[in-house]
Chain A
Amino acid sequence: MGLEQFKNRNVGTQNYVKLDLPHPPKNGWCAFKQVLSRSLKPELFVGLWVALREMINALFRGQMHTTQYPLEKLPISPRYRAIHEMLRLLESGHYRCIGCGLCEKICIANCITMDTRYDENQRKEVSEYTINFGRCIFCGYCAEVCPELAIVHGGRYETASEQRASFSLFEDMLTPIDKLNLQQEYQGFGAISPNADENIKKTPLAY
């Protein structure tokens, strides 16, 4: 598609379809005929039937629309940005976060606070990690920037709280170790795309 089509500003003026509407009645006799045909047409009964059909559908064919919200929830899109989750490595069960601090740095609401230290093996470990959800604007930058896919957005969207500043600790967001087999790979914001493998190219060292 060329760019010319985008430069056309007369959008919508070409594709109007004229409805074949009947003309308003011109004289009394036409009006009378219109009334007669409308009254004798079974359109009112079609309406009645539609309402009854919906009732039958709802009651006996299991097509009720209602979701009884606190008891059942609709699935949300994987791209939805709700309360964060910290994921674990599937093989070792160790948390994925390497303490790089990128999420803390990029967070535009300044709500991630973290600290790291050397553990006994001289490896970096996360000693403190909190998110202040009173400030978080759920922009998703932290999930996008994280090189390890460690911090992601989960599906917990009920964020009402008793306090204005409600912190989540690292342990709260971390996948429980006994639920590791239930851990889902994140599909949403910042996650690698499904066709990531095809997109990988060799680093062009030739030039």
Chain B
Amino acid sequence: MDATILPEVTAAGVIIKAILILAVISAIAGFGTYIERKVLAFMQRRLGPQHVGPYGLLQLAADGIKLFTKEDIIPQHANKIIFMIAPIITAATAFIALAAVPVFPDFTIPFVDVYVPSIASDVNVGILFVLGMMAAGLYGPLLAGMAQSNKWGIIGSARTAVQFLSYEVVTGLSLLAPIMMVGSLSFVDFNNYQSDGTWLVVYQPVAFILFLIAGYAETNRTPFDLLEHEAEIVSGYVTEYSGMRWGMFFIGEYANMITIGVIASVVFLGGYNDFWIFPGWLMILGKIAFSFFFMLWVRAAWPHVRPDQLMWLCWKVLMPLAVINVVITGIVMMIG
């Protein structure tokens, strides 16, 4: 197959890829809960899930069966329609966001000789699309909290709004500097920009750190898990949810964690370019796995911040830093 031929985008191919992404990511998201429990347990010197299957590996199946067979309770005074669609918003947007994210280098299926560009759709505004989708995903918690006529839920959705307003700015501004350097919004271009082996994090360390911080807020992981912090607001926006609707929030959250991991790897950490003797697909899997692990690590080690501290941090520290970073990048690019 000649490499110069543009990857053909057929409808069948896109559908197959969409189904694959859906299946693989929801499986990984489920598996992520297992990993999270194991890693957190190890960091607290516990064993974690242990009894279902070898090393508790089938805990995932047990949890899945439990979630599927649990009664789907809808509170009496809830706004039923919104209550019912809110988890779907979270899960769906999380998966839609993954459509424009490349995970592997393009490859050719052996024997059949079909060339596969391994991105469901290379939208030319990829980054904006993904960020927009992840931001839209925040409507899930927002609506869920307000629809369930529960005080904890209301507080949860209020905090969603706070968080949403605060970090969204930082996410955009922190990614602006790399976008300026690459001059494109497509993830594939980002990847190709770093194909000479220099990762963008070398040029943009500040943007990388800002993006990580904002990404943790975006996926509401510790230290920014204000939305459903058990110690303060019972479960926040998921207080009234049970069964599969609750599970959908979680699948969405874990899918978002993976998305953030992919964006961080592709934009800042060299993407799926080959590195030394390691092939690209292994590199990016390793990077995504590490960024996932880092989220769990941070959760085990760091306390979480108050909502006012989050706003303070985002508006008074991170945003000025991001703006300064953008300005300096611009000046350097103009001179250089």
Interface residues of A (CB under 8 A from B): 35, 39, 44, 47-48, 50-52, 54-55, 57-59, 63-66, 68
Q: Does B298 touch A at the CB level, under 8 Å? A: yes
Q: Which residues of A contact B300 (CB under 8 A)?
A: 51
Contact A58 B45 (CB under 8 A): yes
**A87 CA to B72 CA, complexed, in Å:** 58
B297 touches A51 (CB 8 A): yes
B9 at the interface (CB under 8 A from A): no
Measured between beta carbons, the chain B residues less than 8 angstroms from A58 are 42-43, 45-46
Specify which of B44, B47, B302 is in contact with A47 (CB 8 Å cutoff).
Answer: B302
Q: Which residue of A has the minimal Cβ distance to B50?
A: A68
B317 CB–A CB distance under 8 Å = yes
- The B41-69 residues at the A interface (CB cut-off 8 A) are 42-47, 50
7 contacts between A and B (CB under 8 A): A35-B317, A44-B302, A54-B43, A54-B44, A59-B42, A66-B45, A68-B50
How many residues on B have C-beta within 8 angstroms of the other chain's C-beta atoms?
A: 14
Contact between B43 and A55, CB atoms less than 8 A apart: yes
Q: Give the docked Cα–Cα distance between A64 and B45 (Å).
A: 5
* Bound Cα distance A47, B304 (Å): 13
Supposing A35-B317, A64-B47, A68-B47 touch, asked if A55 and B301 sit within 8 A by C-beta, the answer is: no
A-B CB contacts (within 8 Å), total count:
41
B297→A48 contact, CB < 8 A: yes
Chain B residues near A57 (CB, 8 Å)?
45
Given A51-B301, A52-B297, A65–B45 Cβ distance below 8 Å?
Answer: yes
Closest to B312 in A: A35
Residues from chain B with a CB closer than 8 A to the CB of A50 are: 301
* Residues of A with C-beta under 8 A to B44: 54
Residues of B within 8 A of A (CB): 39, 42-47, 50, 297-298, 300-302, 317
A63 x B50 contact (CB < 8 A): no
- CB-based contact B47/A52 at 8 Å: no
Which A residues touch B39, using CB under 8 A? 55
Residue of B whose beta carbon sits closest to that of A48: B301
Contacts of A65 in B (CB 8 A): 45-46
Beyond known contacts A35-B317, A51-B43, A57-B45: 10 more, CB 8 A cutoff: A47-B302, A51-B297, A54-B43, A54-B44, A55-B42, A58-B42, A58-B45, A58-B46, A64-B45, A65-B46
> Once the chains bind, are A66 and B42 in contact (CB under 8 Å)?
no
Q: How far is the CA of A35 from the CA of B312 in the complex (A)?
A: 11
* Bound complex: CA A75 to CA B314 (Å): 52
Q: How far is the CB of B213 from chain A (nearest CB, A)?
A: 11
Q: A35-B317, A55-B39 are in contact. Are A47 and B301 (CB under 8 A)?
A: yes
Q: A35-B317, A68-B50 are in contact. Are A54 and B298 (CB under 8 A)?
A: no
B47 to chain A, nearest CB (A): 4
Q: How far is the CA of A68 from the CA of B42 in the complex (A)?
A: 15
CB distance from B54 to the nearest CB of A (A): 15
Residues of B within 8 A of A59 (CB): 42
**Among candidates B45, B46, B50, B298, residue contacting A48 with C-beta atoms closer than 8 Å:** B298
Contacts of A63 in B (CB 8 A): 45
Q: For the complex, what is the distance from the CA of A50 to the CA of B302, rounded to whole Å?
A: 11
